[in-house]
């Protein structure tokens, strides 16, 4: 790569990494499980895929996603992956891209 190509790449890169658009965060680990299901009922399917079956539990009204995941032995990196999938699923639902169940969308 010559100096011209390097300069072009630097020119195309954002000046500040904070300028890179991040996807909207509909769901965070601090949200209550019951709150997520109440706001985004179809998101329950994503949580079920990850083995988080406590969404219908009476404790879900008081327990955050992070607490529920920890209580079920889910490693933090898997919880973060699930939250990313939840946000992607909800964004697709909001834009009308989602069709069928989350299981069908992944096939």
Domain 26-106 has CATH 1.10.3910.10: yes
Contacts of 87 (CB under 8 A, 6+ apart): 23, 24, 25, 26, 27
pTM of the model: 0.69
30-83 pLDDT, tens digit per residue, is 999 999 999 999 999 999 999 988 777 888 889 999 999 999 899 999 999 999
The answer to whether residue 100 scores a pLDDT higher than 70 is no
Q: What gap in Å lies between CA 89 and CA 86, rounded to an integer?
A: 5
Q: What is the pLDDT of residue 3?
A: 52
In degrees to the nearest 10, what's the CA dihedral of 97, 101, 104, 105? 30
Give the chain's largest Cα–Cα span: 62
Q: What gap in Å lies between CA 2 and CA 9, rounded to an integer?
A: 11
């Amino acid at each position: 790569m010559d100096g011209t190509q390097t300069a072009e790449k630097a020119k195309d890169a954002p000046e500040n990494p904070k300028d890179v658009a991040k996807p909207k965060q509909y769901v965070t680990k601090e949200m209550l499980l019951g709150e997520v299901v109440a706001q985004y009922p179809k998101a329950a399917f994503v949580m079920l895929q990850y083995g988080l079956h406590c969404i219908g539990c009476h404790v879900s009204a008081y327990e955050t996603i992070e607490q529920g995941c920890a209580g079920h032995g889910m490693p933090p990196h898997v919880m973060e992956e699930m939250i990313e999938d939840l946000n992607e699923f909800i964004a697709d639902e909001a834009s009308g891209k989602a069709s069928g169940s989350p299981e069908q969308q992944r096939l």
